[in-house]
Amino acid sequence: MLELSHITAGYTPRAPVVTDLSLSVADGEAVGLLGPSGCGKSTLARVAALLHRPYAGDVRLAGEPVTGFRFRAPRAQRTRIGVVFQQPRLAADPRLSLRDLIAEPARATGRGAELAGRAAALADAVGLGGELLGRRPHEVSDGQLQRACLARALLLRPRLLICDEMTAMLDASTTAALVAVVEDYRREHGAALLAVGHDRVLLGRWCDRVLDFPAGR
Ligand SMILES: Nc1ncnc2c1ncn2[C@@H]1O[C@H](COP(=O)(O)OP(=O)(O)OP(=O)(O)O)[C@@H](O)[C@H]1O
C-alpha cells in the first residue's frame, strides 16, 4: 500500500532529519514506527501523507509512484490517505463546527450531500453527538476535537490511515476509544495503518509489527 524508498527529508538540505530511510506497509497491514521525540517521525509521517516533499527517495502508493506533494499531490492519491496528527488544534479550522469539520473532505471534493449520512455515522462512531457537534474547536476539549479529526480522516474511506501520535495528548479512556474506532474501521474496510508514536506497549498492541526509527538515519 505504501512504499517509502531511500527517503531523505527535512527542513534544510544540508542537515536532513531523515536520511536514506526505507519502509513499507502492505495492504491491510498495521505498522508502528517508534522513536524518541525529535528523531524525525513526524517528518517521515508527513512525507508518507504526501504533505512534505522529500529531498531524495521515492514514495509509492498502491504501486503507483507519487509525482507531487502538498498542493501538487494528485487528488486520487491524496484521498486514499487519512491522516490524524498529534495536535488537533493545529489540524482543525477554528471557524468550523465539529459537524462541518468532519464533513470537510466531502465538501472539498464536492460530495457533501452524498456523504452526509456517512459523516453522521462517523460522528456517532467516535462518540460525538447532539449539541457538541455544533460547537467550534475552541469550545471543546482536545479529546473531543481529536475524535472529530479521526472521523474526518475516515470520511473518504482511506485505504491507508496515518496516525502521528494520535493519542499523545489524550487520557486512557479516550485513547482506548479512538484505538477501537480505528480497529473497527480497519476490520470493516481492510485498510492499512502507519502509526507513529513513542509508546511501545500501545503500538505493540495496535500493530502487526513495530519498527524502531533508526538512530541517526
Ligand atoms: N518546520 C520545521 N522547520 C525546521 N525544523 C523542524 C520543523 N519541524 C520539525 N523540525 C525539526 O526536525 C527534527 C525532527 O522533528 P519531527 O517533528 O519530525 O520529530 P518527531 O520524532 O516527530 O518528534 P516528536 O515525537 O517530538 O513529535 C527536530 O529536530 C525538529 O526540531
Q: How far apart are the CA of 44 and the centre of ligand 1, in A?
A: 10
Closest CA relative to residue 118, chosen from 62, 177, 70, 109: 109
Report pLDDT for 110.
87
Percent of the chain scored above 90 by pLDDT? 82
Angle between helices 172-189 and 142-154 (to 10 degrees): 10
Encode pLDDT of 62-104 as tens digits: 999 999 999 999 989 999 999 999 988 888 899 999 999 999 9
Q: Give the mean model confidence (pLDDT) for residues 148-164.
A: 97
Kindly state if the Cβ of 37 falls inside 6 Å of ligand 1: yes
pTM over 0.90: yes
**Mean pLDDT for the stretch of residues 49-66:** 96
Q: What pLDDT score does 169 carry?
A: 85
Nearest to 205 by CA among 176, 181, 185: 176
Average pLDDT over residues 208-214: 89
Does 177 score more than 60 pLDDT? yes
Among protein residues, the one whose CA lies closest to atom 18 of ligand 1:
40
Report DSSP state, residue 5: E
Closest listed residue to residue 119, CA positions, set 104, 131, 134: 104
Query: Phi and psi for 27 in degrees, rounded to 5?
Result: -55, 125
Confidence of residue 216 (pLDDT cuts 50, 70, 90): very low
pLDDT at 215: 61
Residue 172 DSSP class:
H
State in Å: Cα 54 to ligand 1 middle: 14
* Half-sphere exposure for 129 (CA within 13 Å, toward CB): 5
**Residue 128 DSSP class:** -
Of all protein residues, the one whose alpha carbon is nearest to atom 2 of ligand 1 is 11
Q: How far apart are CA 16 and CA 206, in angstroms?
A: 30
Q: What is the ipTM of this complex?
A: 0.93
Residue minimizing CA distance to atom 7 of ligand 1? 11
Best residue among 7, 8, 17 to mutate for probing ligand 1's pocket (most ligand atoms within 8 Å of CB) is 17
Q: Looking at ligand 1, which residue's alpha carbon is closest to its atom 17? A: 42
User: Is the CB of residue 43 below 6 angstroms from any atom belonging to ligand 1?
Assistant: yes
